[in-house]
Structures are given as structure tokens and as C-alpha cells.
Structure 1
Amino acid sequence: MSKSALTAFYGGTFDPIHYGHLWSVISLARLVNLQQVIFLPNHVPPHQMQPVAGAQQRLTMVRLAIAELPNSLFTIDDRELRRSTISRTLDTFQDLRHEYGHDAPLGFIIGQDSLLTLPQWYCGLALPDFCHLLVCARPGYGDELDDERNNFWFSSRLTRDPQKLHEQPAGLIYCAETPEIFISSSDIRARYREGRACNGLIPPSVQDYINKQGLYSNHAI
């Protein structure tokens, strides 16, 4: 990996991880020429419902999922799962910036849905001080924030040139034209509760693990 290559972190609860996560990030990696994507599972996210699966179960599912992918682009950082407190993304990227140094290009991969809620995160609008934001498309979501001031914050950082993400350490927002994939973790959990199949929505190894663990229902299929 070249010295100036962008390292991107993909945060989420992954409860469970599914093909929507994987296909989006594979497409993003091609668009941005990423040489490394590091999955960053959340422990206790402050702005979402608490995960159904335990921390180690979600970590195992991410490991199983990326093991099925055809290259070594993807790895895992479990630092947030090792915390006993809530997962604050700003805290994590402050730590990462300290570890990688001031000049290393770092990115945080989020969906359009998360971008729109960023002003409600703990110091969410300060994240570009530490990393770039790489935004994946989500069905039914636009790219405008909730008021004029926040939209100015967004537009002043927006870039259409992915190469710029490799040329400076932080500060930019790139909205990638990734496929809009109609798969969600909440829908998969609902399918398990209702006894409906999830074939084609999650990797087979993750599906087998869910079944063996009895996750999301008493009759995983």
C-alpha cells in the first residue's frame, strides 16, 4: 500500500451484516480506488436502537462475511467492541488519527441515511477534522441536511474527485454513486421473527451461524 493511499473505515452495528453492506462497500472501493477497508463494528451506538446480537456474535458474523470475499481488501478493527462505554465515532477517529499520524488520509464510510442524521451525532459535524466522509447511496434518501447552515457545511466540503481523498488527510465529503440496494438489517431480523427465508440477502456462512446461534428468533431458518 502506498504511503498516500486512503485507509477507509466502515462503521456499523452489522446486526446482522448482509449483502447490502458488502456490495455497497465493494462498489465504493472500486470508485475510490481503496486499497484497504477496515470494518469497525459498533459496541453501543448512541443514536440507534441497541443491537440484538451480542458484540462477539456480530464480530463473528463480520469475520465470516469478509472471509467469503475474493480478495484481501477487507480487515476488521474491533476496538469499539472492546469498550465498556458507548461508541462515539469522534472518539474513535481521534484515536485513529493519533495512531496513523497527521498526514495519513483516513476515511469513514457511511450511508446517506447516516449522513442526514450526522448533526445529531456527538460532535458529528467535527468528523471531517479527522477524516473524509465517504457516503454510499441508500434507497429513498437525498443528500441535503436539515437546515441551511448544515447544508452549507456539507456543500463546502463536497468533492466529485475521488483522487483528492488520497491527496489530503481529511476534510472532504464524497458521495459515491454506489448501487441502491434494498436490503436492511431490520428487514432481515423481521424475516427471522416471522419465519421467512433470507436466502440471497446474507452470506451463507452468516446464515448458518445465525441458525446455529438461534439469533433473531426461536426458529431461525
Structure 2
Amino acid sequence: MTENLRHTAVLGGTFDPPHLGHIDPLLAACKQWQFDDCWLLPNHIPPHKQGTHADVEARLAMLNAVIDAQPRFALCDIELKRHTPSYTVETLKRLKELYPARRFYFVMGMDSLLNLPSWHRWQELFALCHLLVCKRPGYRLDDQHPMASCLAERQYSGNSLPSEPHGRILLTEVLERDISSSQIRRAIASGEDVRQWLPEGVMAIINNRGLYR
């Protein structure tokens, strides 16, 4: 390893809005692993969704409110500058070109790992990054699942970050919050109180701008 090598966790999403279901697993991962920083990677044109409800400027304002409260977090706006769908493999390839002294750990939930074969050129991810998979305590992948052999081959069992530059799957146990951005948007539109799901700064922006009403 070089002296300037940095380890960066990357969490992508539409963040429409960003909520504690995004933030808490990332904080749990930071406690378990020795990341130098965590990048929030907002999508511009998500390949599996019709679009976003809040515009780019509003989503950036909400993300910056999250970052202001979490010193280790930072914004990565590479996908917002793109006018094509945000495929993870293309993003990570570009990040590796821009930041050769960093090792990237792409953060996802267990549900995303199970659906990984549906992702665009998903096998190439293992040549670009490690996967950091957040799972519920005690969860065990069924041996018959198509991703079971991949996990068995690539799962990392060390207590410190792997020496390999890419290709491993790191499992992190997190207490998942059973909430989604779509549920929060519907609740806001119905006039329900959603403060328990949102950081204070994000809630203030939603209220001040009248988002999701």
C-alpha cells in the first residue's frame, strides 16, 4: 500500500429525499471499518426509475445538510454531470481513473446483492471496487440462491480492510430501518409526521421549500 492510499465508501442513490435508512447503515459501516471518508453519490438519470420528484438543486441542498452534520461524509457529483443513465460500473470506472490513490467500497443492501445479476455489466464491478453489503443481524443467504456461490468465493472475513485492491465482499451487520424514500414522500403528501425518519437539516429544507406536497 502507498502512503497516500485512501479508503472511500460510496453510497449511491436518488436521495429523494435522503433519510436515516441511508445514513444509519453508512455510519454503522464506518464504525466497523477504517474508512477515510464516505461519498454520497446522487444519481442524475437512474436506470431503474422513471425520474426524481425533487429537482437536482433541491436534492443537493438536502445532501449538503446531511454532509454538514457528518464530517466524514462528502458529496460526489460525478453522475449529476452526466446526461446518460447512471450505471454503477461506468461511474466506478471513471472514479478509478480520477482517483487512482483511492480504494472504493461500494455500499449496498443485501437486497441489492441478491439482484446484482440484473445490473449492467455487474461482473466488472469486482475489478473496480469492493462491495460493502449491509445485512440484518443473523441473516444468512440461502445456499440455492444464484448469488450464494459468488458470496462464498468473495466474502471477506478479516477484521481490518482487505489488502487486495478490489474484488471482495465485506458484510456489515446493521439494524435496518424499514422505510423508503417513496414511503416518506407519500407520508409528507398526506400530511403525516416524518421527523423520525429524516435528519433535522433535511426536514427543514423539505418544509421551507414545500417539497413532496
Q: Quote the offset at 1:168 in angstroms.
A: 1.8
Aligned: 1:152 with 2:149: yes
Question: Within 5 A, what are the aligned runs for 1:156-195?
Answer: 156-165=153-162, 167-195=163-191
Q: Percent identity?
A: 35
Q: TM-score if structure 2 supplies the norm length?
A: 0.90
- Which segment drifts farther, 85-94 or 59-68? 59-68
2:23 alignment partner in structure 1: 22
Q: Quote the offset at 1:142 in angstroms.
A: 5.8
Aligned: 1:6 with 2:7: yes
- Which segment drifts farther, 117-126 or 44-53? 44-53
- Which segment drifts farther, 88-97 or 200-209? 200-209
Q: Amino acid of the residue matched to residue 80 of structure 2?
A: L
Contact 2:141–2:148 (CA<8 Å) still a contact in 1?
no
> For residues 178 and 49 of structure 1, what CA distance do their matches in structure 2 show?
29
> For residues 145 and 45 of structure 1, what CA distance do their matches in structure 2 show?
31
Q: Amino acid of the residue matched to residue 195 of structure 1?
A: G
Q: Quote the offset at 1:104 in angstroms.
A: 3.9
Q: Quote the offset at 1:65 in angstroms.
A: 1.4
> For residues 190 and 120 of structure 2, what CA distance do their matches in structure 1 show?
35
Q: Give the SS at the match of 2:117.
A: helix
Q: For residues 144 and 124 of structure 1, do their structure 2 counterparts lie closer, same or farther at Cα, with a shift above 3 Å needed?
A: farther
Contact 1:13–1:42 (CA<8 Å) still a contact in 2?
yes
1:125 alignment partner in structure 2: 123
Q: For residues 188 and 60 of structure 1, do their structure 2 counterparts lie closer, same or farther at Cα, with a shift above 3 Å needed?
A: same
Q: Amino acid of the residue matched to residue 194 of structure 1?
A: S
Q: TM-score if structure 1 supplies the norm length?
A: 0.87
The 4+ residue runs of structure 1 with deviation greater than 6 A are none
Q: Aligned pair count?
A: 212
Contact 2:33–2:161 (CA<8 Å) still a contact in 1?
no
- 1:156-195 per-position Cα deviation (integer Å, ceiling 9, x unaligned): 1111224243x22110001101222223212111111211
Give 2:198's match in structure 1, choosing from 178, 202, 208.
Answer: 202
**How big is the alpha-carbon RMSD for the aligned residues of Structure 1 and Structure 2?**
2.4
Q: Quote the offset at 1:145 in angstroms.
A: 8.9
Q: Amino acid of the residue matched to residue 78 of structure 2?
A: R
Structure 2 gaps of 5+ residues are none
1:61 alignment partner in structure 2: 62
> For residues 177 and 6 of structure 1, what CA distance do their matches in structure 2 show?
20
Q: Quote the offset at 1:59 in angstroms.
A: 1.5
Contact 1:116–1:146 (CA<8 Å) still a contact in 2?
no
